[in-house]
């Protein structure tokens, strides 16, 4: 996506043009004429140097007179998708791409067909999707192509349903996806690799990845009988760099695996600067553009022509924005349906091709949401769990809305066939209130962890160097408190750190006190009160990875404590680090000491009341609840409402449905697709970081809700207005907004 753009307004129109066929007699005449012309031109072609294009036969074709090119296309019987005369051609006939982004990794496989059929009912003939490297190679050398990562099955399903595919192979994808699709283990390599560059260490990893990926998709290219008509190289590279050697290397890799006939393309913002930096002229790569919805498209398409070879620049907006992304603490992004449809029609009226971004957004399940930055890397803005995007097909697949209807009306005007009937919205059910029970307090678990699973070092270690890519890290050290209290400073923490202190068990039972929260976007010193410990004071810093930056100059985004930690101006040494990774979308941690111990505590808590080191019910804790679906009842989609809770993550039947943060908003409810649920008992587990709903209750409801926000948060303060350290009681933690 072109993040430098915002959404705006306009529309209008002209009539489309059609091509007439020749009569039988004319066809025979042209056949003889073409043969004579071809023979007479052979010596000329023999003297031409080979050109870097899709294939030599392709180049030969463009040197023929126009009437011969037309005749040749009418005789084509093999499958072929190509560019000529500033048009797309499919099997010898002009073709208008009416596409939309729909990402297989944001939809459960059980719902792929449902969402694709809805896209087809919208009027699409093509689906565009990214390929996130980190989904398929979560650990170096560990390849995953099953379940939600079963790319080949998704592509075959597109073909079965009569949809063509534009494949965005990366290796960088942006997509509001963690680290722009790069696997986070790239950040653990020493010395640092330079992402999106000609750095040999980086290119070696790309070659290894594409050496697995591209042979998998090669049989599914259009010329090989599959649905893939185009493959994108990188993504909006012109917005970040100017390394032509890097782009050319990617082209060479792609051609080596995919052959010369497939159309390779780039996507860049519709300005001269981005196109100059991001296009690959002379390598036979088609340059597509994206731009703000509502901009006059035709001057941009005219500019696009300057970056494509003559006759090879069909107007294509490869990201036509139907909505926009939303970060935590923002209002939900919404765009007007009629305005969007009018801007779309303005492109299509003059035979322009277009790909909706998004046709269907889906969900950032697990920990895969991305983030953006502003003026510097501390201006950090993580994305919601929902990737609804205000797309015509909503997060849950609903199509009974104004935007779907408005866009479908436009699509219907340009479709060569009647559009399929519109399916009804999928049924959703509110299964009622779910009572939860606190099953473990994080700090109760620490004594049970095997020391072999605790990393010790003089200085804090980044998450990636602990061989952990997602979740949380608990950093533990000790300091000697001053009589009047101490001051804690951590210059660089990614992304959010909750600070706790405790004396030894001999003093007040080792109770843990919450002190304050450090946030990447508003990092300030924290006052550590003197809790009058007999000896040193234990310091606990729980750091959450809230999603890596996916766009811009700060995507090299390691997580955890990334600097020295200072207490009263002195560097604090001798740290212990405990990983808390949790399940992610497509992987289960090999070993999670905290979760293993928490499971044991859960079994114990089922039989007796547990004593906790904290007072009340606040602080980082695990909560478990059960709800049943009658065996005679159809299992349908639902949402869980987290209103009244603080911040954390939720699991349903061991599936990580994502992050919640209603006190920041705007997302209140998490979407739970029916395939996650089952008839009989279902288990909900919540890891709440701050303060739960006082009744320890969540509700299963039948609709989304994006009306939560900072107004619900409160800060426990002293009479002088300063935040205080307190034992973990039901007081919510102080929250800040971006």
pLDDT recorded at residue 556: 97
Tell me the whole-structure pTM to 2 decimals.
Answer: 0.86
**Which of 201, 219, 71, 89 lies closest to 159 in space, CA to CA?**
219
Residue 66: pLDDT above 60? no
**Where are the domain boundaries for CATH 3.20.20.80 in the chain?**
95-367+379-414
Question: Percent of the chain scored above 70 by pLDDT?
Answer: 81
Helices then strands, each counted (H, E), the chain: 13, 34
Each residue of 303-316: pLDDT tens digit?
Answer: 999 999 999 999 99
List CB contacts of 283: < 8 A, sequence separation 6 or more.
52, 248, 251, 264
Residue 696 CA to chain centroid, in angstroms?
A: 31
pLDDT at residue number 596 = 56
Output the pLDDT for position 382: 98
- Omega cis (within 30) before 191: yes
Q: Is the pLDDT of residue 52 over 60?
A: no
**Band of pLDDT at residue 483, cut at 50, 70 and 90:** confident
- Whole-number Å distance between alpha carbons of 480 and 485: 10
Give the separation between CA 473 and CA 456, rounded to whole angstroms.
Answer: 13
The DSSP annotation for 575-610 comes to EEEEEE----SS---S--HHHHHHHHHHHHHTTSPP
pLDDT single digits (tens) 116-164: 999 999 999 999 999 999 999 999 999 999 999 999 999 999 999 999 9
Calpha distance 446→443 (Å, rounded)? 6
State how far the Cα of 483 lies from the Cα of 531, in Å rounded to an integer.
Answer: 9
**Residue 531: is its pLDDT beyond 70?**
yes
Contact between 554 and 183 (Cβ < 8 Å): no
pLDDT digits (tens, 9 = 90+) for 464-476: 999 999 999 999 9
C-beta of residue 625 within 8 angstroms of C-beta of residue 651: no
Q: Both tokens of residue 166? A: 């534009």
- Strand order of the β-sheet with 570-571 is 526-528, 486-489, 566-567, 570-571
The answer on pLDDT for 630 being more than 80 is: yes
Percent pLDDT > 90 in the chain is: 75
For the chain, the C-alpha Rg in angstroms (whole number) is 29
How many other C-beta atoms are found inside a 10 Å radius of the C-beta of residue 720?
6
The 3 state secondary structure assigned to 273-321 is HHHHHHCCCCCCEEEEEECCCCCCHHHHHHHHHCCCCCCCCCCEEEEEE
- pLDDT category at 611 given cuts 50, 70, 90 is very low
Q: What are residue 381's DSSP bridge partners?
A: 372
Name the superfamily (CATH) of residues 432-437+591-606+617-701.
Answer: Galactose-binding domain-like (2.60.120.260)
Q: Which whole number is the average pLDDT over 547-562?
A: 98
Q: For tokens 């109760």, what's the residue?
A: 444
CA neighbours closer than 13 Å in the CB half-sphere of residue 409: 11
pLDDT surpassing 60 at residue 601: no
Q: What is residue 273's predicted lDDT score, i.e. its pLDDT?
A: 97
Across 180-196, average pLDDT: 98
Q: pLDDT digits over 85-113, tens only? A: 999 999 999 999 999 999 999 999 999 99
**Residues forming CATH 2.60.120.260 domain(s) in the chain:** 432-437+591-606+617-701, 450-580
Burial (CB < 10 A; 0-12, 13-18, 19+), residue 268, is buried
Please determine, for residue 652, whether its predicted confidence score (pLDDT) is greater than 60. Answer: yes
CA distances from 502 to 245, 246, 539, 725 (A): 55, 52, 7, 11
Higher pLDDT, 449 or 495: 495
Least confident of 14-18, 321-325, 452-456: 14-18
- Categorize the per-residue pLDDT at 61 as very low, low, confident or very high, splitting at 50, 70 and 90: very low
Tens of pLDDT along 332-385? Answer: 999 999 999 999 999 999 999 999 999 999 999 999 999 999 999 999 999 999
Q: Which two tokens stand for residue 160?
A: 């079965």
What pLDDT score does 71 carry?
Answer: 42
What mean pLDDT is predicted for residues 267-271? 98
Q: What pLDDT score was predicted for residue 597? A: 57
Return d(Cα 138, Cα 580) in angstroms, integer: 17
69/92 Cα distance (integer angstroms): 10
Cβ proximity of 88 and 77 under 8 Å: no
Q: At 405, is the pLDDT very low, low, confident or very high (cuts 50, 70, 90)?
A: very high
Q: Return d(Cα 425, Cα 164) in angstroms, integer.
A: 24
Give, to the nearest 10 degrees, the angle between helix 151-160 and helix 112-122.
40
CATH number of the structural domain 450-580 = 2.60.120.260
**Span 431-438, mean pLDDT?**
97
- Per-residue pLDDT band for 451 (boundaries 50, 70, 90) equals confident
Q: Which of 328, 707, 723 is nearest to 498 (CA)?
A: 723
DSSP 563: S
pLDDT at 585: 85
CA triple 368-371-374, angle to 5 deg: 170
First to last CA, the chain: 22
pLDDT band at 397 (very low <50, low <70, confident <90, very high): very high
CA distances from 432 to 622, 657, 698, 701 (A): 21, 18, 9, 7
- Show the CA angle centred on residue 269, arms to residues 265 and 273, nearest 5°: 105
* Residues with catalytic function: 236, 319
Identify the band that residue 65 occupies on the pLDDT scale cut at 50, 70 and 90.
very low
Picking from 332-341, 547-556, 704-713, which range would have the lowest pLDDT averaged per residue?
704-713
Nearest to 283 by CA among 245, 240, 239, 229: 245
Please determine, for residue 59, whether its predicted confidence score (pLDDT) is greater than 80.
no
Q: How confident is the model at residue 599 (pLDDT cuts 50, 70, 90)?
A: low
| Residues 673, 676, 680, 682, Cα dihedral to 10° | -100
Q: What is the phi-psi region of residue 467: left when phi exceeds 0, alpha when psi lies from -120 to 50, beta otherwise? A: left
More reliable by pLDDT, 197 or 725: 197
Look at 691 and 618; give whichever has higher pLDDT. 691
Of 284, 336, 291, 323, nearest in space to 307 by CA: 284
- CATH classification for the domain delimited by 95-367+379-414, as one of 3.10.150.10, 3.40.1030.10, 3.20.20.80, 3.40.50.720: 3.20.20.80
- For the stretch 157-196, what's the b/e string if a residue is b when 16 or more beta carbons lie within 10 angstroms of its beta carbon? bbbebebbbbbbbbbbbbbbbbbbbbbbbbbbeeeebbbb
Confidence of residue 13 (pLDDT cuts 50, 70, 90): very low
Q: Is the pLDDT of residue 683 over 80?
A: yes
Residue 362 has a pLDDT of: 98
Cα separation, 662 vs 680, whole angstroms = 29
For the chain, what is the mean pLDDT? 86
Q: Which secondary-structure segment (H or E) carries 631?
A: none
Spatial separation of the C-alpha atoms in residues 109 and 113, rounded to whole Å = 8
Record the tokens describing residue 228, joined without a space: 């893939």
pLDDT of residue 164: 98
* Confidence band, pLDDT 50/70/90 cuts, at residue 39: very low
């Amino acid at each position: 996506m072109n993040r430098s753009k915002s959404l705006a307004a306009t529309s209008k129109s002209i009539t489309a043009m059609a091509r007439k066929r020749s009569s039988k007699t004319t066809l025979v005449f042209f056949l003889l004429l073409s043969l004579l012309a071809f023979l007479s031109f052979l010596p000329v072609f023999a003297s031409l140097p080979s050109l870097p294009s899709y294939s030599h036969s392709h180049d030969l074709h463009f040197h023929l007179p126009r009437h011969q090119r037309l005749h040749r296309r009418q005789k084509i019987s093999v499958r072929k998708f190509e560019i000529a005369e500033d048009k797309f051609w499919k099997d010898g006939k002009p073709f208008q791409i009416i596409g939309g982004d729909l990402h297989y990794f944001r939809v459960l496989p059980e719902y792929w067909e449902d969402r694709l059929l809805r896209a087809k009912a919208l009027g699409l003939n093509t689906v565009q999707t990214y390929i996130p490297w980190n989904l398929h190679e979560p650990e170096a050398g560990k390849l995953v192509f099953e379940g939600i990562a079963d790319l080949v099955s998704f592509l075959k399903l597109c073909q079965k349903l009569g949809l063509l595919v534009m494949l965005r192979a990366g290796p960088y994808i942006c997509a509001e996806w963690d680290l722009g699709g790069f696997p986070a283990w790239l950040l653990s390599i020493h010395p640092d690799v330079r992402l999106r560059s000609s750095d040999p260490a980086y290119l070696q990893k790309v070659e290894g990845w594409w050496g697995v990926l591209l042979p998998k998709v090669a049989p599914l290219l259009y010329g090989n009988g599959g649905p893939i008509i185009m493959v994108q190289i990188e993504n909006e590279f012109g917005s970040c760099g100017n390394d032509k050697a890097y782009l050319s290397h990617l082209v060479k890799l792609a051609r080596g695996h995919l052959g010369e006939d497939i159309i390779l393309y780039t996507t860049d913002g519709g300005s001269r600067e981005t196109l100059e930096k991001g296009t690959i002229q002379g390598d036979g790569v088609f340059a597509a553009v994206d731009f703000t919805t509502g901009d006059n498209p035709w001057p941009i398409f005219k500019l696009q022509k300057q970056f494509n070879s003559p006759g090879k620049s069909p107007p294509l907006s490869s990201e036509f924005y139907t909505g926009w992304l939303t970060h935590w603490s923002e209002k939900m992004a919404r765009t007007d349906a009629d305005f969007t449809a009018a801007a779309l029609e303005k492109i299509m009226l003059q035979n322009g091709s277009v790909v909706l971004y998004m046709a269907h957004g889906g969900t950032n399940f697990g920990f895969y949401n991305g983030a953006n930055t502003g003026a510097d890397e501390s201006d950090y803005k993580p994305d919601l769990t929902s990737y609804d995007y205000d797309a015509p097909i909503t997060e849950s697949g609903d199509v009974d809305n104004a935007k779907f209807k408005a866009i479908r009306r436009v699509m219907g005007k340009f479709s060569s066939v009647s559009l399929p009937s519109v399916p009804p919205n999928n049924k959703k059910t509110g299964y009622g209130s779910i009572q939860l029970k606190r099953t473990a307090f994080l700090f109760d678990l620490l004594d049970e962890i095997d020391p072999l699973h605790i990393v010790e070092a003089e200085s804090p270690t980044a998450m990636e160097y602990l061989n952990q890519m997602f979740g949380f890290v608990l950093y533990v050290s000790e300091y000697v408190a001053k009589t009047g209290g101490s001051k804690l400073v951590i210059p660089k923490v990614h992304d959010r750190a909750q600070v706790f202190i405790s004396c030894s068990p001999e003093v007040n039972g080792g109770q843990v006190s919450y002190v304050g929260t450090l946030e990447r976007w508003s990092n300030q010193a924290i006052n550590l009160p003197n809790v009058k410990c007999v000896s040193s004071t234990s310091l606990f810093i729980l750091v959450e990875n809230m999603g890596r930056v996916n766009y811009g100059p700060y995507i090299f985004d390691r997580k955890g404590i990334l600097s020295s930690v200072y207490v009263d101006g002195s560097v604090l040494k001798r740290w212990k680090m405990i990983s808390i990774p949790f399940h992610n979308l497509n992987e289960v941690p090999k070993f999670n000491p905290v979760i293993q111990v928490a499971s044991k505590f859960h079994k114990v808590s089922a039989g007796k009341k547990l004593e906790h080191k904290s007072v009340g019910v606040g602080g980082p804790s695990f909560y478990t609840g059960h709800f049943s679906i009658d065996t005679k009842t159809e299992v349908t989609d639902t949402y869980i409402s987290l209103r009244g809770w603080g911040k954390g993550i939720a699991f349903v039947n061991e599936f990580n449905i994502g992050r919640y943060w209603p006190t920041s908003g705007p997302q209140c409810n998490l979407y739970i697709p029916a395939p996650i649920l089952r008839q009989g008992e279902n288990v909900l587990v919540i890891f709440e970081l701050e303060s739960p709903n006082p009744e320890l209750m969540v509700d299963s409801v039948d609709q989304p809700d994006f009306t939560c926000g900072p107004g619900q948060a409160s800060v426990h303060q002293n009479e002088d207005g300063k935040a205080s350290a307190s034992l973990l009681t039901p007081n919510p933690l102080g929250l800040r907004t971006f």
